[in-house]
Amino acid sequence: MGKKGKGKKKSKKDSEPTEPPHDPGWERAVEQGRWDRPIDALPDPNAWPTWGALRERIILSCMTIQVTWSPSVSDAFASEMVKLAPPELAKLSFRGSSSLTKFVLSPLTACPLLKEIDLSLSPKLEFVLIQSESVEKILLSRCGVKKLLLHCKNLSTLSIEGSTSIETIMIWSDKLVNLDLTACSQLSTCKIHCPNLKDRKIPELKAKPVKIPDHPPISKMLAAEIEINAELQKQKEKSSSSESSTFEIPIVLRC
């Protein structure tokens, strides 16, 4: 029998993994300074070791991030974007996000050129905190927001029409002139620090529900007290009986 031919050995180069192809839209986003595709179209850091840096490069180059009507906008991505704080970002829109539950932009110096934020029509969005020295326009109409905290000295436009779930609102702004909160039927806490506010419509605040402590019925309390007193009396009698049983009359010796 002839000898079996040996299979061709794989070279070390052949066995090494190769980088997946780049999406042509990535470089285009860097050149245009704009990202308007779903978040999951960004480079995935888990797909290739260098893609984390590539993802950051794309986000940091953006002057506009506009991802609308997309379930891919998550709390995690919003935090990632704020942490990177693109230095030239001027407009941010997550309008119509079905996954976003909170949005926090802080500190005041984050995204120093950001002018406009649109989070409208995001039904699950409940908490919004925005601290910014540059933001002038915030759109939050028809959201599920319950707590809204805005510290934006240059804020001049705030839209919250149809956001009827707001319970707490605090605003600090030197430029805000008009504020209409009449649709906020659940409002219980309202603190407005806007020295130039001229047209101010604030509904009557809803009283916060007072939680009444749950106490057991008086009859049960009295019964428990009687039971405790009876037990104490029993222990006292038992102790007294024990002392009398161990008492010994001293022996007197007479000469």
Domain assignment present for 65: yes
Local confidence band at 201 (pLDDT 50, 70, 90 cut-offs):
confident
Domain assignment present for 212: no
93, amino acid identity: S
Strand pairing class (91-93; 137-139) = unpaired
Distances (CA, A) of 109 to 127, 132, 168, 201, 252: 20, 6, 24, 31, 97
Q: Name the DSSP class of 9.
A: P
Residue 83 to residue 106: CA distance in whole angstroms: 9
* Number of structural domains in the chain: 1
Contact 103, 82 (CB under 8 A): no
The arrangement of strands across the sheet holding 102-105 comes to 102-105, 127-132, 147-152, 168-172, 189-193
Whole-prediction pTM: 0.75
Domain assignment present for 83: yes
- pLDDT tens sequence across 41-82: 999 999 999 999 999 999 999 999 999 999 999 999 999 999
Proportion of the chain above pLDDT 70, given as a percent: 83
Q: Which domain holds residue 32?
A: 24-201
Domain assignment present for 44: yes
Residue 52 to residue 73: CA distance in whole angstroms: 18
Domain assignment present for 145: yes
Residue 74 to residue 64: CA distance in whole angstroms: 18
Domain assignment present for 242: no
- Length of the chain equals 255
Domain assignment present for 225: no
From the CB of residue 123, how many other CB atoms can be counted at a distance below 10 Å? 14
- pLDDT tens sequence across 13-22: 557 889 899 9
